[in-house]
C-alpha cells in the first residue's frame, strides 16, 4: 500500500557529472512522487571528502533543472528538514552513533590499517569472505578508555549479530533474505569523524520522513545493514525498490570505458531533454504495452514501481537517436527556429544574417532528415553558403557531357520567374526544359541538385530550389557549369 503522502529522495554524491544511471534514479523518484501527490527531495551525500569534486553540486543542480526534474526540497530550496548537505549534519550522525554504542549495537574499532590489510590477505589466502573479525568488540572497557585517553584513532563499526536471517521486502524483487554471517561489520563513523553512507542515509531518511527508498540495484547488498540500523533504532523501515542495472549492448555493466555515461555528455552532443527523459524512463520500466514515445507529463501519469523490471536494462544508443528524431520532429517550428539560431551562432555561418522566414523554410525542408538541430548545418550546409566543392562520386555518376547545356537552358527558364517563385514553378521549368531537349527529367534533376547543393542527397529537389530562391539557384547553376569539368 502506498503512503498517502509519500516522500522520496534522490541522494547523489558530488563526485563529478550526473551519470545516466543517476538520472534514472532521480527520474523514477520524481515520477513516483508526481504520480502519488508526494514530495521529491534532493539531498547531497557529500561525506566522502576524498571523492568530493568542486563544482559538482552546482553542475548537478543545473542538469536536473535543465532536464525538468524540479525538486520540492533541496540545497537551494530548503524545506523544514534542512540542511540538505550531509556535511552540515555531522553532529546529528555522531548523536545517533552514540545511541548505537550505548546499546552495544555498534563498537569502536582501533585496528590499524596494517592489521586490517593482514587480515584481508589471510582471508583471501584461505578463500574466505573478506570481513572484519570483530577483534575490537572483545576489548575491555579499560582497554577502550586507555586508547581514548591516548587519542588512538578509531572508527565506529556496526555490530552485526551472528547467525541471524535478515529479511525485507522489495517492490521490484519481492521478498529478500540475507544471512547475517555474510554481512560485514560496516564502518559507520570514519576516523575523521565523518559518517559513511550507511549511517548517514538511514538517519537522514528517517529524520526527513522518507517513505520509499528507490535506488540502484548496486545498493541491494548494503540493504541488510540498513535494515539492521532501522531495527536497532526502533524505526519503521521505508519501502525499498531496487532498480535494475544499466547494461551495454554486450550485457556488461554500463561504464565510461564503453562510451558516454554522463548526462552532460549527451546534452553537449545535442540530445533534447525530452528524448533523454523518454529514453531513460524506458530503461527498466514500461507501461505494459508497446508504446515508446512519452513526454514527461505523460510519464508522470503512467509510471508505477510495480512495472519496473528485475532484469538489467540495455542502453541502446540507436533507440535514443530515434527518440531524439521523433521528439525534434514533434516540436513546434517556433521552438526549433530558436534552437537553430543558437546552433548556427556556434558555426562559421553565425556571421551571416538569415531571416526567420528563410530559416523556417529550411526547417520544413529538412525536418524529416535530421535527428539533431546541429544536423541542419552539418547535413545541409548549402542552405547557408554556396557549395565550394562538388561530390566527385556524384559528378562521375550524374554529370554528363550534355549537363552544362541542359542546365544553362534551365537557368534561362528560371530567370523568367517572378521574385517569389513556388515549387510548382521550379518543377514546371525543369519539365519544360527536359521536354524541349527531348530528354527525361532525371537528366536535369540530378545535375541541378549537384549544382545547387554540391551533394547527391538532400530534401526533394524542388524543396531545395524554392528555399534557395530563383536568383541563388541561377547563380549556383552558372558557377557549377564553370567549375565542374569531366
**Residue positions annotated with a catalytic role:** 256
Grid coordinates 552558372 are at which residue? 478
CA distance linking residue 457 with residue 147, whole number of Å: 79
83 prior amide bond cis, ω within 30: yes
CA distance linking residue 7 with residue 214, whole number of Å: 11
Full 3-state SS string of 220-257:
HHHHHHHHHHHHHHCCCCCEEEEECCEECCCCCECCHH
CA distance linking residue 284 with residue 394, whole number of Å: 45
Beta bridge partner(s), residue 19: 262
Residue 67 CB partners (closer than 8 Å, separation 6+)? 23, 263, 273, 276, 277
* 458 SS3 class: coil
* 412 SS3 class: helix
The sign of the dihedral angle between the CA atoms of 49, 217, 214, 290 is positive
Give the DSSP letter string of 118-178. Answer: HHHHHHHHTT-------GGGG--HHHHHHHHHTT---EEEE-PPSS-EEEEEETTTEEEEE
Containing 10, the helix (H) or strand (E) segment is strand 7-10
Cell (9 digits) for 337: 527556429
Amino acid at each position: 500500500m502506498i503512503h498517502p503522502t509519500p516522500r522520496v529522495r534522490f541522494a547523489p554524491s558530488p563526485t563529478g557529472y550526473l551519470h545516466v544511471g543517476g538520472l534514472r534514479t532521480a527520474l523514477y523518484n520524481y515520477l513516483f512522487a508526481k504520480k502519488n501527490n508526494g514530495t521529491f527531495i534532493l539531498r547531497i551525500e557529500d561525506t566522502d571528502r576524498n571523492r568530493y569534486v568542486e563544482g559538482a553540486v552546482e553542475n548537478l543542480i543545473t542538469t536536473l533543472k535543465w532536464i525538468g526534474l524540479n525538486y520540492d526540497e533541496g540545497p537551494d530550496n530548503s524545506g523544514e528538514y534542512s540542511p540538505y548537505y550531509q556535511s552540515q549534519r555531522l553532529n546529528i550522525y555522531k548523536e545517533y552513533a552514540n545511541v548505537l554504542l550505548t546499546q552495544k549495537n555498534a563498537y569502536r574499532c582501533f585496528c590499524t590499517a596494517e592489521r586490517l590489510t593482514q587480515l584481508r590477505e589471510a582471508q583471501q589466502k584461505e578463500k574466505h569472505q573478506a570481513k572484519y573479525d570483530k577483534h575490537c568488540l572483545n576489548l575491555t572497557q579499560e582497554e577502550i578508555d586507555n586508547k581514548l585517553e591516548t587519542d588512538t584513532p578509531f572508527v565506529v563499526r556496526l555490530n552485526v549479530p551472528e547467525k541471524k536471517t535478515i529479511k525485507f521486502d522489495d517492490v521490484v524483487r519481492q521478498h529478500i533474505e540475507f544471512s547475517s554471517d555474510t554481512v560485514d561489520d560496516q564502518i559507520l563513523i570514519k576516523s575523521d569523524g565523518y559518517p559513511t553512507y550507511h549511517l548517514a542515509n538511514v538517519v537522514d531518511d528517517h529524520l526527513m520522513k522518507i517513505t520509499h527508498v528507490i535506488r540502484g540495484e548496486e545498493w541491494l547488498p548494503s540493504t541488510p545493514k540498513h535494515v539492521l540500523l532501522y531495527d536497532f533504532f526502533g524505526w519503521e523501515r521505508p519501502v525499498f525498490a531496487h532498480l535494475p542495472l544499466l547494461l551495454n549492448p554486450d550485457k556488461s555493466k554500463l561504464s565510461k570505458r564503453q562510451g558516454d555515461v554522463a548526462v552532460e555528455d549527451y546534452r553537449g552532443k545535442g540530445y533534447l531533454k525530452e528524448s533523454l527523459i523518454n529514453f531513460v524512463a524506458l530503461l527498466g520500466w514500461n507501461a505494459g504495452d508497446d508504446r515508446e514515445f512519452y513526454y514527461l507529463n505523460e510519464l508522470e501519469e503512467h509510471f508505477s514501481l510495480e512495472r519496473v523490471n528485475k532484469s538489467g536494462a540495455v542502453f541502446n544508443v540507436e533507440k535514443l537517436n530515434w527518440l531524439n528524431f521523433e521528439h525534434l520532429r514533434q516540436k513546434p517550428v517556433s521552438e526549433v527556429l530558436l534552437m537553430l539560431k543558437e546552433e548556427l551562432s556556434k558555426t562559421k555561418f553565425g556571421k551571416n544574417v538569415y531571416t526567420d522566414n528563410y530559416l523556417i523554410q529550411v526547417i520544413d525542408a529538412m525536418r524529416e532528415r535530421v535527428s539533431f538541430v546541429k544536423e541542419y548545418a552539418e547535413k545541409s550546409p548549402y542552405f547557408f553558403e554556396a557549395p565550394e566543392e562538388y561530390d566527385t562520386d556524384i559528378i562521375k555518376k550524374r554529370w554528363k557531357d550534355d549537363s552544362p547545356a541542359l542546365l544553362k537552358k534551365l537557368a534561362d527558364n528560371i530567370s523568367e520567374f517572378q521574385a517569389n517563385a513556388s515549387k510548382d514553378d521550379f518543377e514546371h521549368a525543369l519539365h519544360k526544359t527536359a521536354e524541349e531537349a527531348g530528354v527525361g527529367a532525371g537528366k536535369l534533376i540530378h545535375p541541378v541538385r549537384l549544382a545547387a547543393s554540391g551533394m547527391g542527397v538532400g530534401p526533394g529537389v524542388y524543396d531545395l530550389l524554392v528555399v534557395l530562391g530563383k536568383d541563388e539557384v541561377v547563380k549556383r547553376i552558372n558557377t557549377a557549369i564553370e567549375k565542374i569539368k569531366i
